Structure 1
């Protein structure tokens, strides 16, 4: 029925189906032909496990630790060592800093292709590494293990190859798959490319018949890069790259680009354990005197319950955002028992250090956010995280800021609505409406959209400027002990739109997933994230989980997070690290088959 439906579909569907079937059949045939070599590889190489990447059947290597940056450096190191020991000249090709993957690219002259493949097959066959052909969209279209022996024609002729290792966590989960690795581009001389220049590559502006005369001795790239696809002899002065440090390249490729961020970026987290008896008693005592200012769901127990999210949020930061200079954790005379407050790169900041004494104690995130820019030593540009916000895959500093310092703002498609703030509406709506009034008063602009629950790029100069104006709503928020309809949203709606109105920020696209705890679709959304959903960030938000559902929700997200982020960050006391649930079997702790050993 499915095939009949696809055949009757719109034009092009049949062709797509046939292409997919052909790729699947080719991959299966290759796997059968190479079965003996794979059995030998697995028998003689420890730590390998079979994985599926779509129709492709590869092996992954179990690793003892993982960060995306370290993995990329290791893959580059393997390729560099291979080429250097073989005496094959190569050069680092710059990648787009706005591309999240920290993947490195090296260029090699086309004349060295056979030598590269022969040496690679000989030296990488015992590692369990793969080699794949990279398509025009940057994805791997087909891949095999180096141990499989002779490469298929599509790989032997591909203009760009990717090689690396599929890295697995302790329970067999894929941490880095075919989206990682190191790319090898085969560059041709102009005289070799002249015959196909009229159709490929399309980016050349010089007609093909003139290419040999104009660019005969120039090196021509097989695809785009941020600097230049044509390197004449005069531009090929040897140089060394700054990052990664010391890799051979050419002088134009070693220069910092306009988009590259070269200023420090810190991260700020806010955290509280509302279940701790003394904290809970203090909150109840003040809450009795503050009743009725806003809907009960905004001050309920779920708002202050710790599901240990911070531990895994910091792990996600370490795994996928290696550009962060320093982490500041803002708390109320508390630290998690697993946290090492003396860890390198971490500063614990108490509310007393940044909030007025007569505003304490405070149980309102809006009030705390209004004073984050008073943290001593904080960089001018920083990222603000709630402890329930996680990084899902590698991101770079350029995801949040342009090279000139302009912030990239995560505006939501959801609107604030119109009318006055109301105690029964969600607190972000009320706080956003109040911020809208501030922006209208100072800048004559009308704010319509909320912000996503993602990392928030912040400019200290914007926060200080707003504070210097003595904005009544902002000052009132600093003294708002609990969430109130009179609050503003300091680090989201107010900061973001003030920055946009003054030319210091622009809206940007953030790929994001929201998961609310205790809802019917919670497990389905977690399953999608576990399977490698195509998002940069996700939020596990506990809005008003029913007491009867809280224990089950807590257990589900703990299993998910431990599998997603299995390795401790440097901020943890190592003896406190929890065990890995589900490590005994690939089907996972829930037995529903969602923890498949597949590439995202």
Structure 2
């Protein structure tokens, strides 16, 4: 959905956004401890029964009251945890080591401005490896079942040395440890690794997870045990080392074998094969790609328009014709709430494997964007339309029909509207198969039956047209719209559609405003056509749709912020008026700042206007002249409210 952009407000407004985000996170009733306890205590089916008999207004009032309910006081375990930190002989706390609370328990945080899931995962694993090398332990990396936590194997006979080395490390760099008993993928609790009693309790644990809690300086983004490093103790049996739990690649290796060095990118799908990461020590059994590893590059494409630019408004006014439906020209379609800024933050945080970002505009640039930043390319409509006589265009269907003409775009790419966000880390496998097939995500919403008419909103009219064209070729009737999730696309399929359905494609590209004859090529037609020609399959991604015009929007945003359990979400609006936009901005901006507090590398510094520099860490190996996209952070599920440094 194209939007306008306002002038960069500067450092003062940035601080105001941050303060508003802090207040929202602290006062969010969906994150209060009574509401959290209620959700944990009652199964979903019982909560749904309550929702059917208790009105939304009553439920909201109750949550508001509970959000200010006085705490019963810290638990005994919380008091002990804080006392352990405070009384430790070494200075665990400092300016870059604030004391925060995760699930109400004090934890020492390691604060840095460039925090990210991939950075936290790699830093935790590197700390463990450094300790093991110092203790001269023969360790090796293992390809585990998860992408957000590393796995390192050590011989069982070295358990005491490993425990001692890790305990000494935690005294220097305050870390935490949890037993991995196989019941959950991510432990809910962790004990201080700088406390001697912790290691006594773990004396027989076959797998432990080492965690350092990484955060951004504000403490709103905390990455905990989900991104820890597992240490597995492999037993010696008849000249072989045998894994303590099931493995996806190999569950035993020779006791003595020459270690090999491989890029750390091989051990997580959060990094692409081209990501420059330090080499790691492994065994030959784990040193080769698997058939389901995606090794082709994936780019991202956004479309965006500055709907308040006087020159653009003049061109729009002078254009011949008017949109057939009021929704196509509604204020909400061009209202800026800074979605693009935060969508790019979500992309950098949660999809660090993206190679490049292409921003398609009508020769416009957001004021906060650094167009020279590594990893982003601005693309003009003039550069992609095969028939420049149809420009200027104010029809997103027309613009989307030309995306495959972007120079340098990879064969496989994700197409984003600026109101789409990635809420948790995702991998290329969430959108593509390693053999090149794309995935698509049908919505429960139906395409209305019948022919397009003036009463149809644009998405329904285009869906009806898609159905008619596809039925004429494949003799099958499509019935469902698509979820508003980043769309996995292939350039070759889009080019084929342009050739096979040349007349309808040309008509869509030539319509300056949304038309009753449009095809929605990128958001729907591509997926059904690719499916019928054996190049796409249905997929599933956890997803939420939020309509800003809905009266329940505040609650929905509060739930997203508190739970952070959706891989993707969309915040959409098509019917708001000018009067609605200001109030929605006050609701949405603090939410986005609280959810995505870490600026992307594409933003200018608010104070100086200078571009931000990539922090030390992962970079991509690219051919000369090819920009790159770094990694960034994900708000964790375990941090349900802002943490106080």
Give yes or no for TM over 0.5: yes
Note if 1:283 corresponds to 2:316. yes
Note if 1:79 corresponds to 2:128. yes
Note if 1:372 corresponds to 2:372. no
Contact kept? 2:335, 2:581, Cα under 8 Å: no
Note if 1:311 corresponds to 2:344. no
Seen in structure 2, the aligned counterparts of structure 1 residues 424 and 63 have a Cα distance that, compared at 3 Å, is: farther
3-state SS in 1 of match to 2:264: coil
Note if 1:224 corresponds to 2:257. no
Contact kept? 1:186, 1:222, Cα under 8 Å: yes
1:258 Cα shift? 0.8
1:254 Cα shift? 0.7
1:357 Cα shift? 1.2
What is the aligned partner in structure 1 of residue 379 from structure 2?
A: 349
3-state SS in 1 of match to 2:528: helix
What is the aligned partner in structure 2 of residue 177 from structure 1?
A: 224
* 1:153-164 paired onto structure 2 within 5 Å: 155-164=202-211
What is the aligned partner in structure 2 of residue 111 from structure 1?
A: 157
What is the aligned partner in structure 2 of residue 144 from structure 1?
A: 191
Seen in structure 2, the aligned counterparts of structure 1 residues 497 and 224 have a Cα distance that, compared at 3 Å, is: farther
Structure 1: gaps of 5 or more residues = 11-26, 191-215, 579-592
Match of 1:121 among 154, 159, 167: 167
2:483 & 2:608 partners in 1: Cα distance?
A: 31
1:508 & 1:574 partners in 2: Cα distance?
A: 38
Note if 1:391 corresponds to 2:422. yes
1:172-196 Cα offsets, whole Å, 9 max, x none, are 2133122112121222234xxxxxx
What is the aligned partner in structure 1 of residue 263 from structure 2?
A: 242
1:169 Cα shift? 2.6
Higher relative contact order (CA 8 A, sep 6+): 2
Contact kept? 2:141, 2:151, Cα under 8 Å: yes
1:114 & 1:545 partners in 2: Cα distance?
A: 64
1:196-242 Cα offsets, whole Å, 9 max, x none, are xxxxxxxxxxxxxxxxxxxx3332222333212233559x5522223
1:43 Cα shift? 5.6
1:334 Cα shift? 0.5
1:282 Cα shift? 2.5
Note if 1:462 corresponds to 2:462. no
Contact kept? 2:446, 2:481, Cα under 8 Å: yes
What is the aligned partner in structure 2 of residue 324 from structure 1?
A: 354
> What RMSD in Å do the two structures reach over aligned CA positions?
2.9
Contact kept? 1:391, 1:536, Cα under 8 Å: yes
Note if 1:274 corresponds to 2:319. no
What is the aligned partner in structure 1 of residue 233 from structure 2?
A: 186
3-state SS in 1 of match to 2:178: strand
What is the aligned partner in structure 1 of residue 567 from structure 2?
A: 536
2:169 & 2:450 partners in 1: Cα distance?
A: 68
2:589 & 2:126 partners in 1: Cα distance?
A: 35
3-state SS in 1 of match to 2:397: helix
Contact kept? 1:512, 1:535, Cα under 8 Å: yes
1:135 Cα shift? 4.1
TM-score w.r.t. length of structure 2: 0.77
1:470-499 Cα offsets, whole Å, 9 max, x none, are 343322111121222221111121111111
2:559 & 2:85 partners in 1: Cα distance?
A: 30
1:415 Cα shift? 2.4
What is the aligned partner in structure 2 of residue 336 from structure 1?
A: 366
1:153 Cα shift? 5.8
What is the aligned partner in structure 2 of residue 45 from structure 1?
A: 93
* 1:3-14 paired onto structure 2 within 5 Å: none
3-state SS in 1 of match to 2:209: strand
2:640 & 2:283 partners in 1: Cα distance?
A: 46
1:266 & 1:105 partners in 2: Cα distance?
A: 29
2:458 & 2:246 partners in 1: Cα distance?
A: 46
Note if 1:299 corresponds to 2:329. yes
Seen in structure 2, the aligned counterparts of structure 1 residues 57 and 222 have a Cα distance that, compared at 3 Å, is: farther
Seen in structure 2, the aligned counterparts of structure 1 residues 509 and 187 have a Cα distance that, compared at 3 Å, is: same
What is the aligned partner in structure 2 of residue 13 from structure 1?
A: none
2:462 & 2:335 partners in 1: Cα distance?
A: 22
Contact kept? 1:92, 1:241, Cα under 8 Å: no
2:464 & 2:144 partners in 1: Cα distance?
A: 41
What is the aligned partner in structure 2 of residue 17 from structure 1?
A: none
What is the aligned partner in structure 2 of residue 411 from structure 1?
A: 442
Contact kept? 2:174, 2:212, Cα under 8 Å: yes
Seen in structure 2, the aligned counterparts of structure 1 residues 369 and 224 have a Cα distance that, compared at 3 Å, is: farther
Contact kept? 1:217, 1:232, Cα under 8 Å: yes
Structure 2: gaps of 5 or more residues = 1-34, 45-73, 266-277, 610-638
* 1:464-483 paired onto structure 2 within 5 Å: 464-483=495-514
What is the aligned partner in structure 1 of residue 22 from structure 2?
A: none
Seen in structure 2, the aligned counterparts of structure 1 residues 161 and 149 have a Cα distance that, compared at 3 Å, is: same
Contact kept? 1:125, 1:145, Cα under 8 Å: no
1:45 Cα shift? 2.0
Note if 1:67 corresponds to 2:99. no
1:122 & 1:153 partners in 2: Cα distance?
A: 14
1:462 Cα shift? 0.6
3-state SS in 2 of match to 1:338: coil
1:152 Cα shift? 6.3
1:31 Cα shift? 4.0
Contact kept? 1:91, 1:249, Cα under 8 Å: yes
Note if 1:546 corresponds to 2:577. yes
TM-score w.r.t. length of structure 1: 0.83
1:228 & 1:594 partners in 2: Cα distance?
A: 37
1:83 & 1:134 partners in 2: Cα distance?
A: 19
